[in-house]
């Protein structure tokens, strides 16, 4: 049985929830109740709680702050939020914290709660087989010790790395925030980093498995088995998979990541070598300029005289068009299409100044088959027609 604690300031709501669902039929035991966040944290210190179902709006400490503190102490605890307010901002913050679900109290029913419980229990059952006596901090420190030959333990406990999943070998990936030139120091940054780690852990645990941990809130390390759980993806597919993971992180947390993966290694004792290989391959200059944007800009510059579209560039650098559009605007403060148009018109101005080509020829040179559209666009952006620009 997995122990549940319900945190809700209204007693009648707690009673209603208690008898809404046959909890034990889903492998969940109603272990404790609390009327506020402070009381819930006290219970967490004395009871082994696996699932916390908490209201968001409560007197004193609200549910969001409670969840952040719980996750900081024990990342494995599963959080379910309750709210009387159908508010997207709450739902978005719940995702950042790593909540399993966000239930709307006025409309939720037994079927919806049961569906959430099935998801929660599945996540708990799929958790890595680490020593249950280790705290989250001790577990993290243990995995860190495996990355350095000088701290590599002589005796290893039975962890997730010693399961059958790693019989095909393993590979290691290092993730860093793109702007992570200096380690985070404030509590808020640390909590945000833990949200990032939780999201990566949740993403890879469904598809690939392995172990996810962090180093000093600066980087996240993922040790992955040689093959995905489905058996359809292997080490050879890692590039595409990492691209999709980084895209998901950007979409949900608005955090741009860089990453680097090691080769495939057969033995856990080679983790120090795998970690060093991944570190040495981390992109050098991506801390100050997003690599995806640089790649897309380079493609545009190379193909400027063609019909350059967002979809073409996204396909070339293996990201979705939506993701490229968002990261481009975030990094440059300019839409992708505006960037292309600006560069095409700058080249057109050069041709107008330095050649005798006719306007329709210049339009065709930079990929506009309709010279009237080109002239209209030129006037809108430059403030005069192409001929006026040439004759000034």
Token pair recorded at residue 183: 């380690």
Token pair recorded at residue 104: 């709307």
- Running DSSP on this structure, what letter comes out for residue 265? B
pLDDT (0 to 100) of residue 134 = 62
State CA 175 to chain mean position distance.
Answer: 10
Residue 243's contacts (CB-CB under 8 Å, 6 or more residues apart) are 318, 319
SS3 285: coil
pLDDT (0 to 100) of residue 254 = 79
- Running DSSP on this structure, what letter comes out for residue 98? T
Where exactly does CATH 3.40.50.2300 map onto the chain? 2-125
SS3 173: strand
pLDDT (0 to 100) of residue 186 = 45
Where exactly does CATH 1.10.10.60 map onto the chain? 289-392
Contact 226, 171 (CB under 8 A): yes
Q: What are phi and psi of 233, to 5 degrees?
A: -105, 140
Token pair recorded at residue 256: 């741009």
Helix crossing, 238-253 with 88-97: angle to 10°?
140
Other beta carbons less than 10 A from residue 294's beta carbon: 15
pLDDT (0 to 100) of residue 130 = 55
Q: What are phi and psi of 20, to 5 degrees?
A: -75, -35
Token pair recorded at residue 11: 């007693």
Token pair recorded at residue 50: 């696996």
The class level of CATH for 136-280 reads alpha beta
Where exactly does CATH 3.30.70.270 map onto the chain? 136-280
The greatest distance separating any two alpha carbons of the chain, rounded to the nearest whole angstrom, comes to 84
**Rama region for 374: left / alpha / beta (φ>0; ψ in -120 to 50; rest):** alpha
From first to last of the 392 residues of the chain, give the pLDDT tens digit: 789 999 998 888 888 888 888 999 988 999 999 999 999 999 988 888 889 999 888 888 888 888 888 877 777 788 898 877 655 555 556 666 667 777 878 888 888 899 889 888 887 776 555 555 566 777 888 888 898 877 787 666 656 787 777 888 999 999 988 754 334 444 445 677 888 888 898 889 888 888 999 988 888 999 999 888 877 677 778 888 998 899 888 888 878 888 999 999 998 889 999 998 988 887 754 433 456 777 888 888 888 888 888 888 888 877 778 878 887 777 667 788 888 888 888 889 889 988 989 999 998 988 888 888 989 998 888 888 999 888 88
CA atoms within 13 A on the CB side of 232: 3
pLDDT (0 to 100) of residue 287 = 39
Q: Distance between CA 319 and CA 300 in Å, rounded?
A: 15
Q: CATH number of the domain at 289-392, please?
A: 1.10.10.60
> Selecting from 3.40.50.300, 3.10.270.10, 3.30.420.130, 3.40.50.2300, what CATH number does the domain 2-125 have?
3.40.50.2300
């Amino acid at each position: 049985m997995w122990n549940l604690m319900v945190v809700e300031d209204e007693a009648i709501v707690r009673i209603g929830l208690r008898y809404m669902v046959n909890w034990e039929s889903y492998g969940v035991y109603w272990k404790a109740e609390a009327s506020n966040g402070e009381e819930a944290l006290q219970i967490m210190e004395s009871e082994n709680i696996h699932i916390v179902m908490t209201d968001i709006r409560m007197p004193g400490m609200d549910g969001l702050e409670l969840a952040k503190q719980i996750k900081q102490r024990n990342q494995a605890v599963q959080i379910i939020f309750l709210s009387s307010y159908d508010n997207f901002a709450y739902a978005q913050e719940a995702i950042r914290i790593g909540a399993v679900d966000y239930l709307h109290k006025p409309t939720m029913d037994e079927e919806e709660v049961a569906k959430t419980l099935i998801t929660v229990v599945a996540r708990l059952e799929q958790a890595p087989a680490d020593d249950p006596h280790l705290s989250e901090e001790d577990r993290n420190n243990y995995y860190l010790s495996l990355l350095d030959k000088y701290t590599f333990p002589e005796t290893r406990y039975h962890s997730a790395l010693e399961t059958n999943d790693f019989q095909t070998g393993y590979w290691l990936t290092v993730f860093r925030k793109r702007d992570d030139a200096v380690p985070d120091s404030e509590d808020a940054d640390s909590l945000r980093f833990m949200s990032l780690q939780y999201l990566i852990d949740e993403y890879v645990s469904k598809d690939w498995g392995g172990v996810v941990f962090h180093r000093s809130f600066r980087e996240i390390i993922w040790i992955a088995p040689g093959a995905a759980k489905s058996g359809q993806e292997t080490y050879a597919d890692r590039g595409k998979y990492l691209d999709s993971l980084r895209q998901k992180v950007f979409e949900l947390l608005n955090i741009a990541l860089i990453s680097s993966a090691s080769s495939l290694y057969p033995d856990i004792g080679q983790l120090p070598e795998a970690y060093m290989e991944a570190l040495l391959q981390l992109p050098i200059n991506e801390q100050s300029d997003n690599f995806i944007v640089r790649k897309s800009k380079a493609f545009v510059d190379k193909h400027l005289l063609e019909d350059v579209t967002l979809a073409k560039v996204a396909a070339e650098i293996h990201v979705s068009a939506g993701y490229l559009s968002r990261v481009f605007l975030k990094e440059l403060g300019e839409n992708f299409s505006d960037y292309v148009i600006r560069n095409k018109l700058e080249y057109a101005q050069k041709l107008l100044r330095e050649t005798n080509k006719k306007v329709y020829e210049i339009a065709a040179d930079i990929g506009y088959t309709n010279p009237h559209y080109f002239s209209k666009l030129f006037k809108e952006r430059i403030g005069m027609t192409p001929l006026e620009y040439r004759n000034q």
